[in-house]
């Protein structure tokens, strides 16, 4: 039996998985053209590249009115502000997501109310959403995490019953579809990140999709220092400069050309992976909900059975990484997240409503189990590495299966 690489054996894979982002002459030409045009900035907003990107993004995602801006965090802040959500309002947020999802309500003056996730999908648990609703609740932010989508049928119903706004944090879900409808086009708002790791990227950037054209006008006004965007040009808002640059938008137009083929390729490889994964003992996939009619692969999560392997996901990832397979244990629950520290800020909300921020008193058993026991996250590059790259991942997993006694010993030592 081959020794684990972490114990000095030969790693399964020595070659790196493909890097991201990818580029070619088209990116260089698009940026060069923009540089020569002299129109680099966003003002007056939107510039020609940004306006064209907005139209094409809507076509790609399948609906809404797109307002491009600086990143996929302020998109959510702007959505809340456009919807009139602010001081003292409660916004329900999943406890398992990047810190941005909980940060956005805070800077809009609202209170993020954390709830646990569904163990089958790792997306927000609709039952927990219902339980968290109070007379102060104004919005739900769902996160379509790692090739999954939140149960939009139930979330939409709950929101309708309680007159709540729904924001879909779709930072992981470019191109994904629920019952044939694009992520971010089902709720009132869809928030997208174009940050450099994302499966559609321009280095930095964000897009807010709005269902209602008036909301899109308000959002566009908020990000352009409050300038009116209604047809009559009379409705001012309290705004700020969150405009996107034309250089980023130039990259975005090329990224959109490439994206459909990349989406297909990643899905093809993910299907190939899943055929083999189902045969690896001790490994489970998240649930494949058939209403998720098109999946998008930015991150992909599998669950390990810690009892079978005699170790938790941390040791498992440590050993698999040593085999040349890049994996990690993913997001911590928000109340234990080193990147989310409202009490260390002088933001007004945590000072005014300290009762919402007693993180030690909070418990999110599913998110905790995901982070500290079961989940193994992998990046989209595995799905661009051809069958050979996916085969290496499977070989790595099978090697850990065979060597699980050693994993158990490692677990005790870490
Ligand atoms: C789920 C989620 N939401 C929001 C964001 C924030 O996007 P950005 O980095 O563009 O602000 C990210 C980015 O990592 C994310 O993963």
Q: What is the pLDDT of residues 20-44, one digit of tens each?
A: 999 999 999 999 999 999 999 999 9
Angstrom distance (rounded) from CA 182 to CA 170: 10
Contact between 250 and 49 under an 8 Å Cβ cutoff? The reply is yes
Q: Whose CA is nearest to atom 14 of ligand 1?
A: 98
Q: What is the pTM of this model?
A: 0.98
Atom of ligand 1 nearest to the CA of 145: 1
Instruction: Tell me, in angstroms, the distance from the centre of ligand 1 to residue 170's CA.
Output: 9
pLDDT of amino acid 1 = 76
CA 142–ligand 1 middle distance (angstroms):
13
Task: Tell whether ligand 1 has an atom less than 6 A from the beta carbon of residue 206.
Answer: yes
**32-36: long-range contacts, CB 8 A cutoff, minimum separation 24:** 33/250, 34/246, 34/247, 34/250, 35/247
CA of 171 to the centre of ligand 1 (A): 6
Q: Render pLDDT for 79-104 as a digit per residue (tens, 0 to 9).
A: 999 999 999 999 999 999 999 999 99
Task: Name beta bridge partners: 169.
Answer: 143, 191
Task: Write phi, then psi, for 181 (nearest 5 degrees).
Answer: -105, 135
User: Is the pLDDT confidence value at 412 over 90?
Assistant: no
Q: Where are the beta strands (DSSP E) in 137-239?
A: 137-143, 165-169, 177-178, 181-182, 189-193, 206-210
Q: Which of 73, 202, 300 to mutate to test the pocket of ligand 1 (most atoms within 8 A of CB)?
A: 73
pLDDT for 333 equals 98
Mean pLDDT of 166-187: 98
Q: Is 73 in the pocket of ligand 1 (CB under 6 A)?
A: yes
The model's pLDDT over 181-223, given as tens digits with 9 standing for 90+, comes to 999 999 999 999 999 999 999 999 999 999 999 999 999 999 9
Is the shortest distance between the CB of 169 and ligand 1 below 6 Å? yes
Angle CA(321)–CA(327)–CA(331) in degrees, nearest 5? 135
Q: What percent of the chain has pLDDT over 90?
A: 98
Average pLDDT estimate for 121-136: 98
Look at residue 360 and tell me whether its pLDDT is greater than 80.
yes
Q: What is the pLDDT of residues 263-292, one digit of tens each?
A: 999 999 999 999 999 999 999 999 999 999
Kindly report the backbone phi and psi dihedral angles of residue 162, in degrees, each rounded to the nearest multiple of 5, phi listed first: -115, 10
Across residues 304-330, what is the average pLDDT? 97
- What integer is the mean pLDDT of 379-396? 96
CA dist 97 and 202 (Å) reads 22
pLDDT value, residue 90: 98
- pLDDT of 149 above 70: yes
Task: Specify whether the CB–CB gap between 359 and 335 falls below 8 A.
Answer: yes
Q: Which helix (H) or strand (E) element contains residue 112?
A: strand 111-115
Give the pLDDT of residue 267: 96
Q: Locate all alpha helices (DSSP H) within 163-226, ordered by sequence.
A: 213-222
- Say if residue 414's pLDDT is above 70: no
Name the residue of 71, 76, 79, 100 to mutate for ligand 1: max ligand atoms within 8 A of Cβ. Answer: 100
Task: Give the ligand 1 atom nearest the CA of 76.
Answer: 4
List the residue whose alpha carbon is closest to atom 7 of ligand 1.
72
Structure token digits, residue 89:
């309002």
Task: Read off the pLDDT of each residue in 72-85 and give the average, rounded to a whole number.
Answer: 98
Q: Does ligand 1 come within 6 angstroms of the Cβ of 77?
A: no
> Would the CB of 72 count as within 6 Å of ligand 1?
yes
Provide the 3-class DSSP secondary structure of residue 377.
strand
Of 75, 101, 84, 34, which Cα lies nearest the Cα of 242? 75
* Amino acid 410: pLDDT: 86
Kindly give the distance from the C-alpha atom of residue 38 to the centroid of ligand 1, in angstroms, as a whole number: 30
User: Can you tell me the mean pLDDT for 390-402?
Assistant: 97
CA of 100 to the centre of ligand 1 (A): 6
Q: What angle do CA 242, 209, 174 make, to 5 degrees?
A: 105
Q: How far apart are CA 295 and CA 290, in angstroms?
A: 10
């Amino acid at each position: 039996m081959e020794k684990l690489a972490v114990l000095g054996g030969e790693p399964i894979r020595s070659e790196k998985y493909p890097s991201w982002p990818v580029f070619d002459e088209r990116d260089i030409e698009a940026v060069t053209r923009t540089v020569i045009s002299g129109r680099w900035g966003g003002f007056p907003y939107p510039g020609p590249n940004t306006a064209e990107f907005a139209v094409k993004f809507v076509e790609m995602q399948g609906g809404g009115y797109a307002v491009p801006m600086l990143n996929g965090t302020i998109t959510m802040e702007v959505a809340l502000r456009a919807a009139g959500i602010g001081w003292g309002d409660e916004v329900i947020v999943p406890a398992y997501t990047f810190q941005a999802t909980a940060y956005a309500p805070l800077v809009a003056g609202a209170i993020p109310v954390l709830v646990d996730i569904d163990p089958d999908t790792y997306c927000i648990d609709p039952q927990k959403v219902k339980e968290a609703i109070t007379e102060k609740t104004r919005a739900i932010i769902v996160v379509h995490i790692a090739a999954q989508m939140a149960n939009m049928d139930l979330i939409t119903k709950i929101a309708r019953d309680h007159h709540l706004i729904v924001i879909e944090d779709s930072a992981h879900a470019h191109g994904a579809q629920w019952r044939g409808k694009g992520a971010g086009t089902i709720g009132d708002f869809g928030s997208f990140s174009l940050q450099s790791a994302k499966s559609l990227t321009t280095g930095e950037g964000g897009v807010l999709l709005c269902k209602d054209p008036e909301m899109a006008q308000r959002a566009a006004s908020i990000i352009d220092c409050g300038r009116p965007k209604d047809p009559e040009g009379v409705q001012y808002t309290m705004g700020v400069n969150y405009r996107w640059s034309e250089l980023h938008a130039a990259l975005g137009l090329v990224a959109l050309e490439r994206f459909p083929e990349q989406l297909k390729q990643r899905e093809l490889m993910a299907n190939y992976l899943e055929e083999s994964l189902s045969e690896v003992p001790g490994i489970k996939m998240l649930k494949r909900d058939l209403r998720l009619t098109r999946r998008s692969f930015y991150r992909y999560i599998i669950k390990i059975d810690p009892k079978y392997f005699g170790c938790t996901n941390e040791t498992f990832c440590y050993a698999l990484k040593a085999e040349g397979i890049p994996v990690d244990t993913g997001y911590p629950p928000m109340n234990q997240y080193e990147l989310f520290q409202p009490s260390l800020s002088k933001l007004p909300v945590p000072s005014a409503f300290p009762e919402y921020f007693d993180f030690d008193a909070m418990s999110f058993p599913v998110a905790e189990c995901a982070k500290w026991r079961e989940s193994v996250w992998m990046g989209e590059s595995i799905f661009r590495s051809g069958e050979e790259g996916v085969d290496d991942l499977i070989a790595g997993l099978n090697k850990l299966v065979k060597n699980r006694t050693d994993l158990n010993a490692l677990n005790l030592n870490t």
